[in-house]
Amino acid sequence: MMRRVANVAVLLIAALLCFGMQTSKPHYADLTAPIPVYGKIGETIQTRTFDIAVDKVVFARTLKFDRFGQKKLLTTGGIWAIVTARLDARNRSAMVAAATWQGPDGLNYRATERTSLAAGALPVALDPGVTGRTRLVFEILPSQAVGAMLLVSGKLAGPLDSEARIALGAVPAQADGLPDSTIETYELSDAF
């Protein structure tokens, strides 16, 4: 009888120990997540393969650009966030392929593909010694402009690779919730 009670007790302790280890261990996605490199607007952030410096962020209600010789006017249910940045390869040719706008509520917005034919859109190929420029365009909710972070990486899915995380700073808001500096139409020209 005593032996059975001891066996049951050992089994319960083992089950509790296994449950505790299962719930306290990090998830696989956390173990292989990108390695963050933090910075803010105006700073040069150095990742493993490229450097990035965000020059400015512009908010607009509509976008205008040429596609195959035709003028296109793009609208959105929220606002457009246009981020202009300088890029440099570190010590060998590199690629910048993914950008995500992370709002203060944790909502993530990938760079839109609606402007993928505009100059400076991702992906951008980089060579050492040649400064590249990119223009990242996002469709976001107005509430996601204040306190946002820009996540930029060299791969669409970059496990165990570095990722630039750039704090975009405080953005004053108007009474209607739009960022203070929102313009009516932003033109995605070839020169930026």
In a domain? residue 4: no
Alpha carbons 173 and 146: distance in angstroms, whole number: 8
pTM for this entry: 0.83
In a domain? residue 97: yes
What SS3 state is found at 19? helix
Q: pLDDT band at residue 186, thresholds of 50, 70 and 90?
A: very high
pLDDT digits (tens, 9 = 90+) for 136-156: 999 999 999 989 999 999 988
Question: How many distinct structural domains can be found in the chain?
Answer: 1
In a domain? residue 5: no
In a domain? residue 164: yes
In a domain? residue 65: yes
Mean pLDDT confidence for 56-63: 95
Domain that holds residue 183: 30-187
pLDDT digits (tens, 9 = 90+) for 65-107: 887 888 889 999 999 999 999 999 999 999 999 999 999 999 9
Q: What CATH number did the domain enclosing 150 receive?
A: 2.60.40.1240
Classify 39 in phi/psi space as left (phi over 0), alpha (psi -120 to 50) or beta: beta
In a domain? residue 91: yes
